[in-house]
Each structure stands twice: as structure tokens, then as C-alpha cells.
Structure 1
């Protein structure tokens, strides 16, 4: 199973009551997000396919963008850093 570094960092906040994190994305956009949940997923291929891959995903809700949900860990949405409530900034 593949664990994206961003998902591993966000897992540290599991158990907190909807922590708000300021996430900066690869494109330079910044969002205020709340962690919704974590789950396992796959790339949609059959188990016996050599390219089959499972990965762990963090689902966050962008509270500044109409509460849009964004999956982190699939390779499509690449966050580069985050800042938590104590204004601690960390790179993913």
C-alpha cells in the first residue's frame, strides 16, 4: 500500500476535533481545510493486474471553496505545505 507523505503528516491530526489547516498547493493556491476522514482506495485496476495499486487517502473539506471535498494522496492534488492552528508551518 502506498502512503503519500502528505497523508502521513495529516494522520498526525487524527483525533482532533476538525482541525483547520492552511494548505498550500503545487499551483500556489492556499486553502483553509478541515480533515474529514481517511480511507483506503485503489487505482481501479483488477487485483491480478501488475499495475494494480492500493493507497491511503485523506479527504479534506476546503471551507473557503464552497466546502468542496478534496482527496489527498491520489497523486492528482499535490499539497506542498501546511500551517496549523499554532501557526506551525511544515512541508509535506
Structure 2
């Protein structure tokens, strides 16, 4: 699928972003919600859910943005969102 697509995405599809493959699935029980499952990388099976406050369906380009935001947060060596040591309380 091309990131330039402007219409609503299919209910279920696979998307590659920055070399990582994700399954994307619309959740009809939560209007505007999508579940993203990472299939490659250091933590396959790990993912996230995103829900639009306007309950609208997302485009492919919007899914790419969501996944890039997720990838920016995860530790590339573990595939998980890590706590920032600078944010830890003083001991």
C-alpha cells in the first residue's frame, strides 16, 4: 500500500514502515480505533492501539505516521518502550 493513499484504509492489512512490518486491524467495537502488531524486529507480537477522537477511519498515510511515532519511542535493541533513566526518582 502506498503512503500517499488518501481514502480510508481497509479493515485489515499489512504495512511496512522503516523496514518493520506491522499488521493493522480496525476495531469495529471502538470507532476510530486500530490495533498495530509488529511482525518483525526485536519484539515481534508487540504493538499498540491508537484511537481517533473524531472516530473517523484513518488513511494509509496516517497509519504510517502512527507507526513512525511508535518506532521513535521504542528502544531499537529491545523493541519496547523503555523508561528514561533521567526520569527515575532519586534514590
TM over 0.5: no
Tell which has more relative contact order, 1 or 2 (C-alpha 8 A, sep 6+): 1
Larger radius of gyration: 2
TM value normalised by structure 1: 0.31
More strand by share: 1
More helix by share: 2
